[in-house]
Amino acid sequence: MITIKPKHLCLLAMSTAQFFLAAAQKRTIEQKVDSVIKLMTLEEKVGQLNQYSGDWNHTGPITEDGEKQTQIRKGQLGSMLNVVGVEHTRDIQRMAMQSRLKIPMLFGQDVIHGFKTTFPIPLAQAASWDIPAIEQAERIAATEASASGIHWAFAPMVDLARDPRWGRVMEGAGEDPYLGSKIAAARVRGFQGKGLGNTDAVMACVKHFAAYGAAIGGRDYNAVDMSYRTLWEYYLPPFKAAVDAGAASLMNSFNDINGIPATGNNYILRTILKGKWNFKGVVVSDWGSVGEMIKHGFAADEKDAAMKAAIAGCDIDMESRCYKNNLVQLVKEGKVKMSVVDEAVKRVLTKKFELGLFDDPYRFCNEQREQSQKNNPAHRKAARELSEKSIVLLKNENNLLPLSKQTKTIAVIGPFVKSVRDNLGFWSMEWPDDSSTIVTQWEGIKNKVSIDTKLLYAKGCNINDTDSSGFAEAVEVARQADVVIMSVGEARDMSGEAKSRSSIRLPGIQEALIKAIHATGKPVIVMINAGRPLVFNWVADNIPSILYTWWLGTEAGNAIGDVLFGDYNPSGKITMSFPRTEGQIPVYYNHQNTGRPAANETDMNYVSSYIDLYNSPKFPFGYGLSYTAFTYGDIVLDNKTMNTKGKIEAKISITNTGNYDGEETVQLYIRDMVSSVVRPVKELKGFQKIFLKKGETKTVSFIISEDDLKFYNNDLQYISESGDFKLFIGTNSENVKEVSFRLLK
Ligand code: NOJ
């Protein structure tokens, strides 16, 4: 006898069509992807692994238009970059919808520090140490980019960098793996928001995997040679943190690692990323990096390059056309297994399903939404606030800053004062119609001062030339003023991709201009706008007040005005050590002690030092001043020993002993005194941002557990070892209090 259960009754009530629809809806994305793959020809599959550029901003040779369109209509192109705006992305999506299987296209873009609203460059954002603010910046970037048809941000760049000659330091978080990991995860969360499928969420693309930041000599695209221990310990953690935060994709780096190009590197892609880390997202090559394996001397020709990259685990070929021209043949010849292609296609289609593009390929194409993102006041406010937090006060003798808004006459001098685009920095999205919305430094200052204040201006010189004919006017203007504000630095195209510099001084004759103004005897404030740490010893030694203002973006002028006139008390702290000379590079705080450490700065007698230079950097990692002063108490530990299951609490009280309310970033460092592998003299293991009113004291507490004491041993096992540790808490990596404790096993 057949018993009919209530569940079955319910099914009987449904029409057959409804039944199948419900069943289809219940299918997981994996099942849906599999059923699409079953319908695809090999040519269509390879098309999904091919990516071309539109003509917005190319950093290599591009594929001609006609050819692209034919391929899109044939369903043989999976994604594009540099196609921006609803109008353009919709046009191309329409072409894709004419293809046999109507598989939607993905549109990627370099959204490096904002989209319509330009935020400070990432290295500047890192100086804020403000993780929620950094996450919010990416949330805004994602909201704006997704409204312009973009599904995929080629960011965050999480390459650890110790060499400021490398122009791409501007895109990252600096030299520390701990801080870099926190920022990497925050930026992924910001881009992906509440998850793919929401129309304001874009796929993050963590780059450049891996070790790109260690390009030899700081020369972009150069080779990387490092121990696997260094790779695991310093260069991989930010990538791991980003993967753990759910990053949807990763991008290969251009470099080779110990002789194997990253794009064809089995160990990096299959063993680590897709193996140990179980990464399920998409791996895209960098621009042309599949084909570049020929020039590396790793692949004989394009076919060999395609084979090596696909087998190693690079899913999408950006603009080298090696996959497009060779993968079908390689599969037919049995040199690349169909399963390798299927796995890559599966990753790509999964993301397209997760983004909701199979349900509605035009869901990111809404003109109204796009318009509403232009000049959005809430976004501008966030950009201004993050810009304020990114500015670093390097020096402030005799409290020259903040300036009074009532100052009678202020001379504002230098090539950046009225500059528009240079505030945006490299990798900003250039919107010609939006350039009027960038607040110049001149406007920012003008908006602050009283109506009785006389503002004088002289450019003095251009950023990078030898013509000093403007000096006389600048000196004259300075002579008339009570105080001089100078704004100098690097032009927006002097740091960034392919922008390595062997000399990282102030370009052109800007330093000579500063000297000429200083010679007037007037009090001078220098603001340095740059995409990297520069070397500026004369300025650092002679000018009383120095602000490092990086490239701050759309709201640069307002943020600078806020800081100069005390509406915001600066709190930024540098996340790369600033070298004294280029010859000192690489200089980084978490170095080893060596067998012959110098006893002090002047100790140069058969110790590890130069005979003509101190070992310490000009400004250390974590350094940055405030208009107020913070006084640290002594560290109090609740216990002097701990076991692997235990914890130690370290407390310290900090008092604002100056004259302004202000924010301080309290930093915790640890040193393992004796271990099977030599440990650095300090490693950042925690930080807290606190706000203290004038006169206020707060106690900050850090909890130390075994995890904070682990490292990669010689067999690349991540372990802790018993013994003595030093614990430091302070205001930067050099100025710290210290205590000791012991780990027992
Ligand atoms: C090359 C750069 O290295 C990479 O970061 C960028 O995403 C691509 N070009 C696309 O523009």
Name 457's bridge partners. 412
User: Domain map of the chain by residue range?
Assistant: 40-109+254-373, 374-584, 630-744
Instruction: Please report the pLDDT score of residue 374 as a whole number.
Output: 84
Report whether 690 contacts 706 (CB < 8 A).
Answer: no
Say if ligand 1 is within 6 A of residue 168 CB.
no
Q: 459: which DSSP letter?
A: -
Percent of the chain with pLDDT over 70: 94
Instruction: Please report the pLDDT score of residue 6 as a whole number.
Output: 43
Choose, from 110, 130, 286, 422, the residue flagged as catalytic: 286
The protein residue with its alpha carbon nearest to ligand 1, atom 9, reads 287
Question: Distance between CA 97 and CA 215 in Å, rounded?
Answer: 42
Question: Distance between CA 67 and CA 62 in Å, rounded?
Answer: 11
Question: Distance between CA 153 and CA 145 in Å, rounded?
Answer: 8
Q: Which of 58, 110, 318 to mutate to test the pocket of ligand 1 (most atoms within 8 A of CB)?
A: 110
Q: Which of 51, 154, 255 to mutate to test the pocket of ligand 1 (most atoms within 8 A of CB)?
A: 154
Q: CA dist 313 to 154, 307, 316, 344, 686, Å?
A: 19, 10, 9, 8, 35
Report, at the CATH architecture level, how domain 40-109+254-373 is classified. Alpha-Beta Barrel (3.20)
- Residue of higher predicted confidence among 496 and 436: 496
pLDDT tens-digit readout, 473-522? 999 999 999 999 999 999 999 999 999 999 999 999 999 999 999 999 99
CATH topology of domain 630-744: Immunoglobulin-like (2.60.40)
Instruction: Please report the pLDDT score of residue 662 as a whole number.
Output: 98
* DSSP structure string for 472-504: HHHHHHHHT-SEEEEEEE--TTSSSTT---S--
Instruction: Please report the pLDDT score of residue 12 as a whole number.
Output: 44
Residue 85 has pLDDT above 70, yes or no: yes
Residue 432 has pLDDT above 90, yes or no: no
- Rounded to the nearest angstrom, the distance between the alpha carbon of 287 and the centre of ligand 1 is 6
Instruction: Please report the pLDDT score of residue 352 as a whole number.
Output: 98
Residue 293 has pLDDT above 60, yes or no: yes
User: Residue 21: pLDDT band by 50, 70, 90 thresholds?
Assistant: low
Residue 605 has pLDDT above 80, yes or no: yes
- Rounded to the nearest angstrom, the distance between the alpha carbon of 81 and the centre of ligand 1 is 10
Report whether 113 contacts 427 (CB < 8 A).
Answer: yes
Residue 617 has pLDDT above 60, yes or no: yes
pLDDT tens-digit readout, 338-374? 999 999 999 999 999 999 999 999 999 999 999 999 8
Residue 152 has pLDDT above 70, yes or no: yes
Residue 623 has pLDDT above 80, yes or no: yes
**What mean pLDDT, rounded, does the chain reach?**
95
The protein residue with its alpha carbon nearest to ligand 1, atom 4, reads 286
* Catalytic residue list contains 286: yes
* Ligand 1 atom with minimal separation from the 57 CA: 11
Instruction: Please report the pLDDT score of residue 61 as a whole number.
Output: 58
Residue 651 has pLDDT above 50, yes or no: yes
Residue 24 has pLDDT above 70, yes or no: no
Say if ligand 1 is within 6 A of residue 258 CB.
no
Summarize the confidence of residues 547-556 as an average pLDDT.
97
Instruction: Please report the pLDDT score of residue 454 as a whole number.
Output: 98
Instruction: Please report the pLDDT score of residue 375 as a whole number.
Output: 85
Say if ligand 1 is within 6 A of residue 159 CB.
no
CATH topology of domain 374-584: Rossmann fold (3.40.50)
Residue 57 has pLDDT above 90, yes or no: no
pLDDT tens-digit readout, 563-578? 999 999 999 999 999 9
Summarize the confidence of residues 375-393 as an average pLDDT.
97
Instruction: Please report the pLDDT score of residue 26 as a whole number.
Output: 67
| pTM (predicted TM-score) | 0.95
Say if ligand 1 is within 6 A of residue 657 CB.
no
